[in-house]
Amino acid sequence: MKTIKGPALFLAQFAGDQAPFDSWDSITRWAADCGYAGVQVPSWDGRLFDLAKAADSKSYCEDIAGVAQANGVQITELSTHLQGQLVAVHPAYDEAFDGFTVSAMRGNPKARQEWAVDQVRMALTASRNLGLTAMASFSGALAWPFVYPWPQRPAGLVEAAFDELARRWRPILDHAEDCGVDICYEIHPGEDLHDGDSFEMFLDRVNGHARANMLYDPSHYVLQCLDYLDNIDIYKDRIRMFHVKDAEFNPTGRKGVYGGFQPWVNRAGRFRSLGDGQVDFGAVFSKMTANDFDGWAVVEWECCLKHPEDGAREGAEFVRSHIIRVTEKAFDDFADGGTDDAANRRMLGISE
CA torsion 182-186-191-195 (nearest 10°) is 100
Tell me the C-alpha distance between 159 and 206, whole Å.
Answer: 13
pLDDT digits (tens, 9 = 90+) for 38-88: 999 999 999 999 999 999 999 999 999 999 999 999 999 999 999 999 999
Give the DSSP per-residue string, 66-123.
HHHHHTT-EEEEEEEHHHHHTTSB-GGGHHHHGGGS-GGGTT-HHHHHHHHHHHHHHH
Under-70 pLDDT residues of the chain: 335, 352
Terminus-to-terminus CA distance in the chain, angstroms? 37
Among 36, 130, 128, 43, smallest CA distance to 83 is for 43
Among 39, 44, 49, smallest CA distance to 9 is for 39
Number of C-alpha atoms within 13 angstroms, CB side, residue 219? 22
Q: By the 8 A CB rule, do 96 and 64 touch?
A: no
Tell me the C-alpha distance between 168 and 186, whole Å.
Answer: 17
pTM for the model stands at 0.95
What ranges do the domains of the chain cover? 5-347
Predicted pLDDT at 352: 64
Among 78, 81, 73, 12, smallest CA distance to 45 is for 12
Instruction: Say yes or no: domain 5-347 is CATH 3.20.20.100.
Output: no
Tell me the C-alpha distance between 102 and 7, whole Å.
Answer: 32
Predicted pLDDT at 210: 98
Q: By the 8 A CB rule, do 218 and 188 touch?
A: no
Among 167, 165, 155, smallest CA distance to 185 is for 165
